[in-house]
Structures are given as C-alpha cells and as structure tokens.
Structure 1
Amino acid sequence: MGKTAFVFPGQGAQFVGMGKDIYENNEIAKQEFDKIFSSLSFDLKTAMFEGPEETLKKTKYTQPAIVAMSLVLEKLVREKGIKPDFVAGHSVGEYAAFGSGEFLTLSDAVKLTAFRGETMNEIAESVNGGMAAIIGMESSKIEEVLKTVEGVVEAVNFNEPKQTVIAGQKDAIERACVALKEAGAKRALPLAVSGPFHSSLMKPAGEKLKSEAEKYDFKEGTAKLIANTTAEIISTPAEIKAEIYAQSFGPVKWVDTVNKLKENGVDTIYEIGPGKVLAGLIKKIDKELTVINVNSLDDIEKL
C-alpha cells in the first residue's frame, strides 16, 4: 500500500473571495475559520472574502489567507478519513504543513504565518531586492552563472527541473537575467514581488521569527515533514523551529522534496489549498505520482 502526502501552495495562489463559498456552505469549515479569524489582531475575514485585491496582495494578509484556506480544506479532507503520512509546503505553504502535521494547532499555524508575513514585508521594504524566474535551464548551470554576477543574487526556489527562481539585489537580478539568457536560458522573467524572499538578504526576518517561534507550543508531529531548505524528513519541535529560522532566508528545494516523498513510498499526493500550481510542478518532476487537487467544496465531495 503506497503512502500519502499532503502538500500546500505558497504565495501567488490567493484571490479575492477565497474560502467564502466553503465558509458559507460547510459548518465544520465555518467553525474552523471563525476560530482562526478570532485569534488574529486584524480583519483577515474581510480581506479574504471581500478584498479589495490591493489589501489581499499585502504580504501581511496574503500569507495567513493562503494558510488559513489550506488548513480548513485539510480539515475537510481528514473528515473523509484521509490522513497524511507526510506533509510538505512550498515556501509559506510550509506553515500549513506545520498545522497539517499537528506540530501546531490550526489557529497557531495561521497566527505565526501572519507574523511571518508582517516581518517579511518589513525586511523586504528595507532592502532593495527582487526575484526572477529562470526558465529552460538546469539549476546547476544557473548556480554556476550566478557566481560570475556582481552583487547578491542566489538561486532560491528549485520549482521543477527547468524552472528555478533567483532572488537578490535588484541591480544584481538585472545583471543575472542578462548573463543567464546569454548562457542559454530560454526566459528570465522578473517577478512582481515585494522583496528578495528566501535569499540571504532576508536573514533579519529569520532572527525575528526565531524569537517569535519560542512563544508557541510545538508538539511532536503526527506526520513527517519534508523541510523546504534541506528536503530531509523532520518531526521534532526543535527541528521545526530550526526550519522556521532557516527557511526565511534559505532555499525551497521543491524538486528534492517531491523526490524524497517518492523515495519514502509516497504514490499519492493531495495538493490542498487555493490554485493548482504544485500539481503542475509535481507532474514535471515525476509523472508517475498521482496528484489530487483539493481547492473547493466540489473537490471535497468528489473524494
């Protein structure tokens, strides 16, 4: 019997109205959402359900919104009797994995995510950084080229074999895009983000998250988590806290994460949360894996 993994999407999957249909049409979802909303010091409910888009796009709202919707849907998947052996998330999606693996309560996972969003925003505003997606080039080649580029620029999101995201100082990103295209990359696309996420420039955010995490009651997980930064299995509160720190300025090794799940006997992956980005990436990493997308009540009913 193959094993099951739950995976959770990161920033970019948000949309105005997210979760509203689930909230209005499912009693369990309504209770879970209300618990989450009441634990926060700002109005996430309005930002998610009504917008405007400008508000939801602010990292302070985006990150907890994605994690909240992912975890409420996850609760409904469990109601169908499906439980994960492994959990993983892409970037901020890893915080949904903390909740899903029961390292933190749902409300605490969202609350810590809200702190992350605010902190990331604050640090991003103080450094002049950005990100760009590099398409059609092996990640090892990208890393080689980046060594020749002046300034801080690093490969940070290893999304699929031919798509890697780089982050760093704005001018260094521009120089890197030119150098990578000259070296054979098909495309180098600057991303509409507010900062150089997952790069070493974000280390001050890691320091703040490290001390914030000490205020939370972490438990031994009920599922094993594949960490973004190492693609290794972690399962103790100490390991989770170390990952929270490292992940804020470390890489998202998504290709290695998916390969690690397969190595450990996973054959079915549920992508739970808004959008279908991870399902697309997983298929490009390994076509043999079965991926089930869960982002609506319809999807829940089909399970």
Structure 2
Amino acid sequence: MKAYVFPGQGAQFSGMGLDLFEKSPQAQDLFHQANHILGFSITDIMFEGSAEDLKQTKVTQPAVFLHSVILSKVMGDSFKPDMVAGHSLGELSALVANKVLSFEDGLKLVSKRAQAMQKACELEPSTMAAVLGLEDEMVESVCSETEGIVVAANYNCPGQLVISGAYDAVERACENLKERGARRAMILPVGGAFHSPLMEPARKDLAEAIENATFNDPICPVYQNVSTFAVNDPAEIKKNLVFQLTAPVKWTQSVQNMIKDGASEFIEVGPGKVLQGLVKKIDRSTATSSAEIG
C-alpha cells in the first residue's frame, strides 16, 4: 500500500515550485489562482526570493502547501494514495490532496493559520528546541518538572523530539535534558512555540475558519497528527485539525500506525526529503521516495 506524506514548515527553499510552473499548464493556472486568493504574488517570492524572504510565516506556510498540493495535482493518474498524512502544516496539504478540502479553501485556511500563529508568537517570547538521544518519556518527564510552560511538541522519530514553550522555560528544560544525557538540546530558529498551549489564541482564531469551511469525504484515510489513527469522517477530521495547533505532532506514532495498517511505501509530496529521513529512522525496512510529475 502506498502512503503519501506531506512536509511542513522548514522544507522551503529558494526557487521552489519553479520546475512545476515551467513544465505544467495546470500548475501555472493553480499558481495564478493562488496569487489571486492570497492577494500578493507568492510565486515571485517562491521562484526568485531569497531564503530570508521565504522565512516570513505568511509566505512559508502557503509556499510549502502550494508546492505539495500542486505537485499532487499535476501527478495526474499516478497519484493513487491508499493513505495520507502530513507533518503539522502538511496535514492541510494532505487534506486537499485527498479531496477533503478544495484547493481554494485549503489555501485560505493555510493563510489564516500562518497569520494566526504569527499573531500568537508576538504575544509572548517563545521558541522550540530539538532534543536528540533521549527516550520520549524522559523528555516528557523533564518538561513536566521544569518551571514555566514547556511541552513535548513534535515526536519526529525515536530519539528525536522537539519541545516548545516560553523562551525561559525551554532554555531551562534544555539544560536539564543535557544533564539527563541528551546528546543535543538546541534552540531552533523558529518564530514561536508551535504546538504548545501558547498557540491557544491562534487555535481560537483558526477554529472559526475551520468550522466555516466545507469538509468532504476523503478518497482515502488520513492519519492526523493529533489522533495518529486512520480517520475517514469529515467531522472528526475537522475536530482534530482545530486541536492541532496546541497539541503535539505525533509523527512517529502516525507512521508506525500506517505501517501496521499495511503501508509498504512512503512517497513524500513537496519540497525536500525530511519526512523520508524520519520514516527511515522509524522503520529502516520501509521504502521511501520523492513524488515526481506524471
């Protein structure tokens, strides 16, 4: 069975999507639609902008989404998923690719999500940190013992967990984790504490937009970050998506469940190869590849 997976923020690069634009009239049409929906020329930034230009949250999230979704559409008949999943932002790409959301509604939600997260980031100094070389339970325990808001945010693969929270609390947790034997505990260059309680204002902002969007029956199950199991019910998909901003990304558990349910090949749809690397660390015997234009 084929599992199609969609990357999140951090996969962007200067020149992304240009090959799709040049090779496919369908891609050109979708990129032009995107510029109109967003109200600015995101294609100029994607194709010609610097890495610094692409780092703006209002640009990064739609850019990664567009690269992934447009690639899935121009693949044509070769895009035949048995199941899908996306990492954080990538979950919205997955929901458009498996027909739960329309292209327009998906892009509007991504834009709203980016703006809401940016606003939440400005309310309190906050950050995230990557922790390598410790069991998940140890990281969770240290976070719970540390003064201030700091939580496990991204379960990326065994031995790699990202924590998130108030800046001071994350710094304290990093020191404590190093004392407990972490190989590394390093602050990440991100705008704020994604997938933590500090994203509650963003969750409230986004919840209304999600409630008002039309969610259709999927063409295949989606394994969501919050629940980690196969979901087919649009109402449940919607509910999980609302909670995603303040809940951890359970990527390790999602991939393990997809493999348990029969996934034998993981195909990454979008920029980069980050998810392929994580899948290999979760189960070395599983085949991985990058999606290509059909």
Q: TM-score, normalised by structure 1?
A: 0.94
Shift of 1:43: 2.3
Considering only aligned residues, what root-mean-square deviation do their CA atoms show, in Å?
1.3
Per-residue deviation, residues 160-202 of structure 1 (Å, max 9, x unmatched): 1010000001000110000000001000010000100000110
Amino acid of the structure 2 residue aligned with 1:112? L
Q: Which of 7, 10, 18 pairs up with 2:8?
A: 10
Amino acid of the structure 1 residue aligned with 2:31? F
Query: Which residues of 2 match residues 55-70 of structure 1 at below 5 A?
Result: 55-70=53-68
The answer as to whether partners of 1:227 and 1:243 remain within 8 angstroms in 2 is yes
Query: Which residues of 2 match residues 159-178 of structure 1 at below 5 A?
Result: 159-178=156-175
Distance 1:247 1:289 in 2: 27
Amino acid of the structure 1 residue aligned with 2:16? M
The answer as to whether partners of 1:152 and 1:168 remain within 8 angstroms in 2 is yes
Shift of 1:147: 1.8
The answer as to whether partners of 1:149 and 1:172 remain within 8 angstroms in 2 is yes
Partner residue in 2 for 1:27: 25
Q: Tell me, which stretches of 5 or more residues in structure 1 are unaligned?
A: none
Amino acid of the structure 1 residue aligned with 2:271? P
Distance 1:126 1:165 in 2: 21
SS of 2:212's equivalent?
coil
Bigger mean CA offset, 39-48 vs 164-173: 39-48
Amino acid of the structure 2 residue aligned with 1:267? S
SS of 2:78's equivalent?
coil
The answer as to whether partners of 2:24 and 2:74 remain within 8 angstroms in 1 is no
Q: How many residues align?
A: 294
The answer as to whether partners of 2:68 and 2:271 remain within 8 angstroms in 1 is yes
SS of 2:277's equivalent?
helix
The answer as to whether partners of 2:4 and 2:85 remain within 8 angstroms in 1 is yes
Partner residue in 2 for 1:187: 184
Per-residue deviation, residues 93-118 of structure 1 (Å, max 9, x unmatched): 11101101110112221221011001
Distance 1:104 1:225 in 2: 12
Matched, 1:278 2:271: no
Per-residue deviation, residues 67-93 of structure 1 (Å, max 9, x unmatched): 00001111123x143311111000101
Q: Tell me, which stretches of 5 or more residues in structure 2 are unaligned?
A: none
Distance 1:201 1:188 in 2: 21
Give the 4+ runs in structure 1 shifted more than 3 A: none
Q: TM-score, normalised by structure 2?
A: 0.97
SS of 1:21's equivalent?
helix
SS of 1:7's equivalent?
strand
Amino acid of the structure 1 residue aligned with 2:293? I
Distance 2:281 2:46 in 1: 31
Percent identity of paired positions between Structure 1 and Structure 2: 42
Partner residue in 2 for 1:265: 262
Per-residue deviation, residues 190-225 of structure 1 (Å, max 9, x unmatched): 000010000011011111111011222211111110
Query: Which residues of 2 match residues 224-239 of structure 1 at below 5 A?
Result: 224-239=221-236
Matched, 1:200 2:193: no
